Amino acid sequence: MGSDSKAEVIKRAKVLMVGAGGIGCEMLKTLALSGFQDIHIIDMDTIEVSNLNRQFLFRQEHVGQSKAKVARDAVLKFVPHINITPYHANVKDPDFNVNFLKQFNVVLNGLDNLDARRHVNRLCLAAEVPLVESGTTGFLGQVTVHVKGRTECYECQPKPMPKTYPVCTITSTPSKVESQNQIWAKDLLFTKLFGDKSQENDLFVCSDDASNSEKPMEDIFKQAPDEDPKQYGKKIYDHVFGYNIEAALVNEETWKNRRQPRPIFLRDALPEKLNLQNTNPEKGCLTDDLPLSVLPFLSLNNPQEVWNLAENSRMFLESLQLFIEKREKDIGNLTFDKDDQLALEFVTAAANIRASCFGIPLHSLFDSKGIAGNIVHAVATTNAIIAGLIVIEAIKVLQEDFENCRMTYCLEHPSRMMLLMPIEPFQPNKSCYVCSETPLLLEVNTRTTTLRDIVEKIIKVKLGMDLPMVMQARTLIYEAGDGLEEDVAANYALNLNKSLANLPAPVTDGTMLTVEDFQQELKCHINIKHRDDFDEEKEPDGMVLSGWTAPEKVHMATSNGESPSADHQITLEPTEPEVVELDAEMLDTKRKLLATLERKENEEEDREVLSILVNDDDDDDDVVLLDDHPEANKKLKLQ
Ligand SMILES: Nc1ncnc2c1ncn2[C@@H]1O[C@H](COP(=O)(O)OP(=O)(O)OP(=O)(O)O)[C@@H](O)[C@H]1O
Ligand SMILES: [Zn+2]
| ipTM, two decimals | 0.98
Site to probe by mutation for ligand 1, drawn from 45, 70, 375 as the one with most ligand atoms within 8 Å of Cβ, is: 45
Ligand 1 centroid distance, CA of 326 (Å): 40
**Domains present along the chain, CATH in parentheses:** 6-164+379-430+557-637 (3.40.50.720), 179-374 (1.10.10.520), 440-546 (3.10.290.20)
The gap between the terminal CA atoms of the chain, to the nearest Å, is 23
With beta carbons less than 8 A apart as the criterion, state whether 467 and 519 touch. Answer: yes
Strands 14-18 and 106-109: parallel
Region of 535 (left: φ > 0; alpha: ψ -120 to 50; beta: rest) is beta
Ligand 1: residue of 58, 66, 91, 112 to mutate (most ligand atoms within 8 A of CB) is 112
- The CA-based angle 462-463-464, given to 5 degrees, is 95
Residue to substitute in 111, 136, 165 for testing ligand 1 pocket (most ligand atoms within 8 angstroms of CB): 111
Q: How many other β-carbons are positioned within 10 Å of the β-carbon of residue 304?
A: 8
Nearest CA to ligand 1 atom 21: 169
**Is residue 108 within 8 Å of 16, Cβ to Cβ?**
yes
pLDDT number for residue 279? 55
Confirm whether residue 21 is marked as ligand binding: yes
Report which residue type is found at 283.
K
Strands in 83-88's sheet, in edge-to-edge order, are 83-88, 38-43, 14-18, 106-109, 131-137, 140-146, 407-415, 418-423
Pocket test for ligand 1, best of 17, 41, 44 (most atoms within 8 A of CB): 44
Atom of ligand 1 nearest to the CA of 48: 22
Q: Is 115 annotated as a binding residue?
A: yes
Distance CA 44, CA 166 (A): 19
Residue of minimum CA distance from atom 22 in ligand 1: 21
Distances 549 to 57, 118, 154, 488, 590 between C-alpha atoms, Å: 36, 11, 10, 33, 20
Q: In Å, how far are 150, 455, 480, 513 from 470, measured between CA atoms? A: 30, 8, 9, 7
Using an 8 Å Cβ cutoff, are 339 and 154 in contact? no
Distance from residue 354's CA to the centre of ligand 2 (Å): 38
Catalytic one among 168, 357, 410, 524?
A: 168
Residue 410 annotated to the active site: no
Helix, strand or coil for residue 194?
helix
Strands 106-109 and 131-137 turn out to be parallel
DSSP E strand stretches across 265-417: 375-376, 407-415
Residue 401 among known ligand-binding residues: no
| Residues contacting ligand 1 via CB (< 6 Å) | 19-22, 24, 42-45, 50-51, 67, 90-92, 110-113, 116, 166-169, 378, 560-561
Atom of ligand 1 nearest to the CA of 20: 29
Ligand 1, atom nearest to 173 Cα: 21
Q: Write out the DSSP string of 379-422.
A: -HHHHHHHHHHHHHHHHHHHTT-GGG--EEEEEEEEETTEEEEE
Ranges of beta strands (E only) in 437-572 are 440-444, 468-472, 475-479, 512-517, 522-530, 543-546
Residues recorded for the chain: 639
Closest CA to 238 of 264, 213, 200: 264
Q: Evaluate whether 193 touches 163 at the Cβ level (below 8 Å).
A: no
Neighbours of 52 (CB within 10 A): 17
- Residue 548 CA, ligand 2 centroid: distance in Å: 10
Q: Looking at ligand 1, which atom is closest to the CA of residue 90?
A: 3
Helix or strand or coil: residue 12? helix
CA of 379 to the centre of ligand 1 (A): 15
- Say what the alpha-carbon torsion angle 148, 124, 65, 265 is, to the nearest 10 degrees: -100
Plot region of 94 (φ>0 → left; ψ -120 to 50 → alpha; else → beta): alpha
Asked whether 199 and 50 are in contact (CB, 8 A), the reply is no
Is 432 within any annotated ligand binding site?
yes
User: What atom in ligand 1 is closest to the CA of residue 89?
Assistant: 4
Is 187 labelled a binding residue? no
Q: Are 545 and 441 in contact (CB under 8 A)?
A: yes
Q: Which ligand is nearest to the CA of 437?
A: 2
Q: Which ligand 1 atom is nearest residue 92's CA?
A: 1
Please choose, from the candidates 573, 587, 567, 457, the residue with its C-alpha nearest in 3D space to the C-alpha of residue 159.
Answer: 567
Give the ligand with the smallest distance to the CA of 429.
2
Shortest CA distance to 406 belongs to which of 390, 422, 421, 384? 422
- Closest-lying ligand to the alpha carbon of 125? 2
pLDDT along the chain (639 residues), means of 10: 80 98 98 98 92 94 96 98 97 93 98 93 95 95 96 84 45 56 87 79 50 53 86 93 89 81 92 59 54 86 90 94 90 86 94 93 89 81 97 97 95 86 92 87 94 93 90 90 86 94 92 91 92 86 79 39 36 30 34 38 47 37 29 30
CB 7 within 8 A of CB 395: no
Q: Among all ligands shown, which has an atom nearest to the Cα of 155?
A: 2
Report which DSSP code applies to 40. E
Residue 283 has what pLDDT?
47
542 is in an annotated binding site: no
- Any binding-site annotation on 20? yes
Q: Are 112 and 355 in contact (CB under 8 A)?
A: no
Q: How far is the CA of 20 from the centre of ligand 1 (A)?
A: 7
- CA 130 to ligand 2 centroid distance, Å: 13
Helix, strand, or coil (residue 290) = coil
Whole-number Å distance, alpha carbon 415 to ligand 2 midpoint, is: 29
User: How far is residue 12 from each of residues 109, 236, 310, 388, 568, measured CA to CA in Å?
Assistant: 20, 55, 59, 19, 34
